[in-house]
Amino acid sequence: MALTQPHFSRQNLLTRLTPGMAAHYRAQGFWGDETIYDRARAVAEARPEQVAIRDRGVALTYRDLVDLADRMAARFASEGYKPGERVAAWISSRCEIAVLLLACARCSLVFCPSLHRNHTAEEIARLLDRMDARLLVFERGYGADAERRNIDAVLTEQGARVRTQGLDPVAPRDAEGIARALDLPADPAPTCDAARADDVVYIAFTSGTTGEPKGVLHSNNTLLANARAMAGDWGFSDTSVIYTFGPLSHNLGFGALILTLLVGGELVLHDGARGISLIDRLHEAGATFIFGVPAHAMDLLAEFDRRPEAKLDHVRGFRISGAAVPTWLADKMQGYGIVPQSGYGMTEGCSHHYTLPDDPPERIASTSGRACPGYEAMIFDIDDPDRPLPAGDVGHIGGRGTSLMLGYFDDQRATERAFNRNGWFMTGDLGRIDADGYITITGRLKEIIIRGGHNIHPARIEQLAMKFPRVERAAALGVADERLGEKVCLVLMSKDGGEITAGEILPHLDRAGLSRFDMPEYLLNVPEIPLSPSGKILKRALVPDIASGQLRPDPVRFGETDA
Q: Is pLDDT at 561 greater than 70 in this prediction?
A: no
In a 10 Å sphere around its CB, with 0-12 CB exposed, 13-18 middle and 19+ buried, how is residue 4 labelled?
A: middle
Q: Mean of the pLDDT values across residues 535-563? A: 81
**Ranges of CATH 3.30.300.30 domains, the chain:** 450-555
Between CA 505 and CA 518 the distance in angstroms is 14
pLDDT for position 541:
80
Q: Is pLDDT at 56 greater than 60 in this prediction?
A: yes
**Ranges of CATH 3.40.50.12780 domains, the chain:** 31-219
Q: Is pLDDT at 322 greater than 80 in this prediction?
A: no
Between CA 356 and CA 559 the distance in angstroms is 43
Is it true that domain 450-555 has CATH number 2.60.40.1730?
Answer: no
pLDDT for position 482:
85
| pLDDT digits 0-9 by tens, 361-381 | 889 988 999 999 999 999 999
Among 284, 319, 301, smallest CA distance to 56 is for: 284
| pLDDT digits 0-9 by tens, 27-50 | 999 999 999 999 999 999 999 999
pLDDT for position 90:
98
| pLDDT digits 0-9 by tens, 422-435 | 999 999 998 999 99
Between CA 399 and CA 417 the distance in angstroms is 14
* Average pLDDT in the chain: 92
Q: Is pLDDT at 406 greater than 50 in this prediction?
A: yes
Question: If one looks up domain 31-219 in CATH, what number appears?
Answer: 3.40.50.12780
Among 361, 407, 495, smallest CA distance to 110 is for: 407
pLDDT for position 450:
86
The pLDDT-based confidence of 446 (bands split at 50, 70, 90) is confident
What's the half-sphere exposure (Cβ side, CA atoms, 13 Å) at 347?
25
Q: Mean of the pLDDT values across residues 119-146? A: 96
Question: CB of 456 within 8 A of CB of 450?
Answer: yes
Q: Mean of the pLDDT values across residues 512-538? A: 84
Tell which wins on pLDDT, 458 or 215.
215
**Which secondary structure element, helix H or strand E, spans residue 41, and what is its range?**
helix 36-46
Q: Is pLDDT at 271 greater than 90 in this prediction?
A: no
| pLDDT digits 0-9 by tens, 280-304 | 999 999 999 999 988 899 899 999 9
Q: Record the pTM.
A: 0.85
**Ranges of CATH 2.30.38.10 domains, the chain:** 1-15+375-446
Q: What are phi and psi of 203, to 5 degrees?
A: -125, 130
E strands, 27-144, are: 51-54, 59-61, 86-90, 110-112, 135-139
pLDDT for position 103:
98
What is 1-15+375-446's CATH superfamily?
Luciferase; Domain 3 (2.30.38.10)
Q: Is pLDDT at 5 greater than 70 in this prediction?
A: no
Extract long-range pairs of 304-307: CB within 8 Å, 24+ residues apart: 304/279, 304/336, 307/279
The pLDDT-based confidence of 540 (bands split at 50, 70, 90) is confident
pLDDT for position 209:
46
